[in-house]
Amino acid sequence: MKSQAEIDKFEKTNTQLEALHNEISMLSKKKPDDAINKFKLQFVNNVLKNANELLGEQYKPFSDFTLFDEDALPTNSDVIMILAQYLNCMEKLRSDNIVCDLGDYYWLIKSQKSKLVTSSPKKLKER
Amino acid sequence: MVLIRPRLTDCFDIPICQEESDFAIPFLDEDIPFCLDPFLLWRSPSMQDTSLHAMLVNSFNYLGFLVNKGEEAAAIEILIKASECNEVGLGFSGTRHGHKIGPKVASEILSLFRLIPQIQKNGFTHFEEIQLYIDQISKDRISDIACTYLKSWLIDYTIDQCQKLGIPTSDITLENIYNTKDNDFKTEKVKLPFNPQDKRPILLVPKRWLRWAPWINCEDYINDYFIKDVSEVKDRLTRIQILNFNRQNYDVVQVYIRQKERTQQDCKNDPLFQPIPILSAKRKFTAIKKLPTGKADNADKQYESYICQLLASLLYPHLDFADEQVRTDSGVQIRDMIFYNNRSIDFLTDIYNEFNSRQLVFELKNVEQIEREHINQLNRYLANEFGSFGVIVSRHNLTRAMFKNTIDLWAGQRRCIIVLTDEDLQLMVDVYESKQRLPIEVVKKKYIEFTRACPV
């Protein structure tokens, strides 16, 4: 991470992605093939836009996907699938930018350990 | 440019759909099958409407005053003039031209002011009661009489709406405008919209005054009141006998009128188009899915019937349904569904601008696969008012070769033919139910998919 501001932006975006994933999962369980409305889609796209800025080309889940096209009438299950991919890639970005010190995890800013504590990587076993 | 079932606004290229307009958009060749119900004015909370109703009833009761004064000939003349209002185009005529009543019927109506003492003394509260005493007074006759008496107000209303929407008007000499000061008709030169085909004037009527049938009407009286409550003590009577009975039993009719007044809350204007309910739409789609492709057991006719009902509702209010099974001028070919393009959303504006489509044609094909001939058939329709945009509604997606064929048509002739399949209809029905998106957006999606596949 380049700065504390970027870490703040990451944490906000990640939280929003998780919240959207939870909310739309509920809709998707009920009606997976129903089109998502424009109001929700607008906010999903706003969060994805921030996520794209953080992830960059290196961490972006799909090179040919950037945002949802509202005219393509994406369904609940389409949105859930993409949000899940973004959540995983955000976690990959976080895992690559944290360091363990005496059992606690800290963010790296410009490859240097900072004082900002974070949680352990979700896929700890693989590391 | 020949429009199918042309309406005033479409003819002058005014982009407004029926749902948005305050008035019933008149057809140029035929009547709107609705009536102006005076009861809706009476029950309206608006002081303007109730005042107009009072004026209407007073003007009608003035005829009784003339009869009682011994000037029946003058009363007959006024009533005959009041009995038809072609300018509003309401009723059940296929030509927009009705006929006035004859002196005999007029005399019969006016005889009520002599024969029934209560009417002679107090007049009518609801003049539509005359249907319950006199034969040959249909529901559209009541509407026409009301419209003629209200013509002066309707002229102002029409001018106001035309100014708001930019509908062209012309100086027209209009006859039979009722003047409440001298209780007679006069002729005035006014600025009104006109039928471009025959230059006849057109008057607009607010939607809030329209019903399929007046709240007080003869069928309702006989079926829901007379047979149930009155005829138990009487033998089975014919319609004429019931009308005669009514003339002799004024109080029985008044009980019915009071009953209708008590239930006035249930009296609402009828919508000009009633979309089918969600449940019905889902059932129709389920029935479509079960239909086999082809013509076996009339499957193609059933498919067309279901699709017409379904699409007219799914696409409302963004596309007003114009007509189904419309023959071409030569009478050889039949276009399945026609919609007016009201340019109510951006996509429809694009279709209008890009392809010059003032009306949209939908061709219904209950076939396993769309063939070249089906595409060519729709392509032949795409001319004049339809511009160069058409929709095929079929069961399955186009094969790669046929899709390439539609792309080639765009590349060569700038024709845009898109296909709606069962899958798309499913999505349309789903969003019709969930209200998350608009069914018309599914058509837009198909259009965008098509344009993205076109060569740059």
pLDDT tens-digit series, residues B165-222? 999 999 999 999 999 998 999 999 999 999 988 889 999 999 999 999 999 999 999 8
Of residues A34, A71, A72, nearest to B436 (C-beta): A34
What is the nearest CA distance from B431 to chain A, expressed in angstroms?
7
What topology is assigned to B278-453 in CATH?
Restriction Endonuclease (3.40.91)
**ipTM of this complex > 0.90?**
no
What is the nearest CA distance from B21 to chain A, expressed in angstroms?
26
User: For the residues A10-14, what does the mean pLDDT come to?
Assistant: 96
Task: Decide if B436 and A33 are in contact by the 8 Å CB cutoff.
Answer: no
Q: Which residues of A touch B445 (CB under 8 A)?
A: 71-73
| pLDDT at residue B2 in the model | 75
Q: How many CB pairs under 8 A join A and B?
A: 33
User: For the residues B260-280, what does the mean pLDDT come to?
Assistant: 93
What Å distances lie between residue A13 and A1, A28, A58, B251, B362, CA to CA? Answer: 14, 21, 18, 77, 45
pLDDT tens-digit map of B67-85: 999 999 999 999 999 999 9
Q: Which residues of B touch A38 (CB under 8 A)?
A: 437
Residues B252 and A2: their CA atoms lie apart, in Å, by 91
Domain span holding position A91: 4-121
Q: Is the pLDDT of residue A127 over 50?
A: no
A113 assigned to some structural domain? yes
Q: Which residues of A touch B426 (CB under 8 A)?
A: 33
A53 assigned to some structural domain? yes
Task: Decide if B436 and A36 are in contact by the 8 Å CB cutoff.
Answer: yes
Start-to-end CA span in chain B (Å): 31
Q: What is the mean pLDDT of chain A?
A: 92
| pLDDT at residue A90 in the model | 96
Q: Does A34 touch chain B (CB under 8 A)?
A: yes
A126 assigned to some structural domain? no
B interface test, pick of A42, A71, A73 with most B CB neighbours within 10 Å = A73
Portions of chain B given CATH number 3.40.91.30: 278-453
| pLDDT at residue A24 in the model | 95
Q: Which residues of A touch B437 (CB under 8 A)?
A: 35-38, 73
Looking up tokens 């030509």 gives B95
The answer for residues whose C-beta is within 8 angstroms of residue B163's C-beta and 6 or more apart is none
| pLDDT at residue B79 in the model | 95
Q: What DSSP state is assigned to residue B182? A: T
Give the residue numbers in B contacting A (CB under 8 Å), as ranges: 426-427, 430-431, 434, 436-437, 441-442, 444-445, 448
Residues B144 and B168: their CA atoms lie apart, in Å, by 25
Q: Does A72 touch chain B (CB under 8 A)?
A: yes
Confidence band for B228, pLDDT divided at 50, 70 and 90: confident
Q: Considering its fold, how many domains does chain A have in total?
A: 1
Which of B3, B24, B13, B8 has the alpha carbon at shortest distance from B349? Answer: B13
Residues B224 and B241: their CA atoms lie apart, in Å, by 17
How many CA atoms lie within 13 Å of B104's alpha carbon, on the beta-carbon side? 2
A58 assigned to some structural domain? yes
pLDDT exceeding 70 applies to what percent of chain B? 97
A127 assigned to some structural domain? no
Q: Which residues of A touch B427 (CB under 8 A)?
A: 33, 35, 73
